[in-house]
Amino acid sequence: MAYWLFKSETSTWSWDQQVARGDAGEEWDGVRNYQARNFMREMKLGDRGFFYLSQKDRKIVGIVEVCAEAHSDSTTDDDRWDCVDIKAVRSFVTPVTLDQIKADERLTDMVLVKNSRLSVQPVSDCEWRIVCEMGQTNPD
């Protein structure tokens, strides 16, 4: 199983909204970046991801699961853009801030640190476990 990171903003799509969707999940639409799209095309059912809030919040607040593999983005007729569906798995006991991540020597290679603008990113197994531990949250 692979791990990922999905970026959102509270004002656009909040963690509360994601949780409220329950197991039905939600289409991760609106991504208009080839790199991010390509990562979504690689995703498999059951893959897990962090739910990160950019801008004001700048922290990881929850864990999500891919509940539909890549399909066309319903918000556009342009067939270049695909997206997956994700559902909330659990909230972080303690959210992990970008500051904490940047301050941790083990996480200096995280895409979030190296390429902060990429809205869908891969996360290594190692990074996954470290961040979950920092958030006192079950990684499985």
Partner DNA sequence: GCCAACGTTGGC
* List of residues contacting DNA (CB under 7 A): 7, 9, 32-35, 54-55, 58, 98-99, 102, 112, 115-119
Q: Which is closer to DNA, CB of 33 or CB of 75?
A: 33
What is the distance between the alpha carbons of residues 90 and 80, in angstroms, rounded to a whole number? 32
| Biggest CA-to-CA distance, the chain | 43
Smallest gap from Cβ 110 to DNA, in A, equals 11
Cα 59–85–131 angle (5° rounding)? 30
Pairing of strands 3-8, 120-123: antiparallel
Q: DSSP labels for 35-98?
A: HHHHHHHH--TT-EEEEEETTTT-EEEEEEEEEEEEEE-TT-S-TT-EEEEEEEEEEEEEEEEH
For DNA, the closer of residues 115 and 138 by Cβ is 115
CB of 78 to DNA, least distance (A): 9
Please, what is the minimum distance in Å from the beta carbon of residue 83 to DNA? 14
Decide whether 91 or 100 has the Cβ nearer to DNA. 100
Q: Please report how close the Cβ of residue 23 comes to DNA at its closest, in angstroms.
A: 27
Nearer to DNA, 66 or 120 (CB): 120
